[in-house]
Amino acid sequence: MRVALVSCVKSKRATPSPAKDLYTSELFQRMRKYAESISDRWYILSAEHGVLEPDQVISPYECTLNRMDRAARLRWADRVKAQLVDKMPERAEVIVLAGERYRNGLLPFLRDLGHTVRVPLEGLSFGRQLQRLGELLSTETQSTS
């Protein structure tokens, strides 16, 4: 079983929407498309809500991990861990499409649970992330044709 975790982004619709449609940036759209193409399940890591189901309707919000202090980020990670325990199948392959602040604390936790973890965008600049997602989507499209 393969599960993808996709981080939220700043740009959002102005009205309540399913989480998968709330975030409007090109980066999120590409991460979503890649997650949908390669995983059996995917979830959104939200700074406000923790772990979101893609179809879960939420209102726009302004919370970001980048504005949280270290203690608040640790509390967020603890909340996400508790939510993931209930959602993750045993020994899944987990694809993490999220920045460092979203990954901190989660990767060791996932590995300790016995999951294989991959971070295909690790260390890439914003522009390079978009480029790499395009490459990954192109490869995935070719392999399913």
Q: 96-141, pLDDT tens digit by residue?
A: 999 888 998 899 999 999 999 999 999 988 889 989 998 988 887 6
As a whole number, the mean pLDDT across the chain is 92
Q: What is the rounded CA–CA span in Å between residue 53 and residue 132?
A: 25
> In the chain, what are the domain boundaries?
2-140
CA distance 142 to 140: 5
Q: Encode pLDDT of 2-23 as tens digits.
A: 999 999 999 999 999 999 999 9
Residues, the chain: 145
pLDDT band at 66 (very low <50, low <70, confident <90, very high): confident
Could you give the CA distance from residue 104 to residue 98 in angstroms, rounded to a whole number? Answer: 10
Give CATH for domain 2-140.
Answer: 3.40.50
The pLDDT score that the predictor gives to residue 137 is: 86
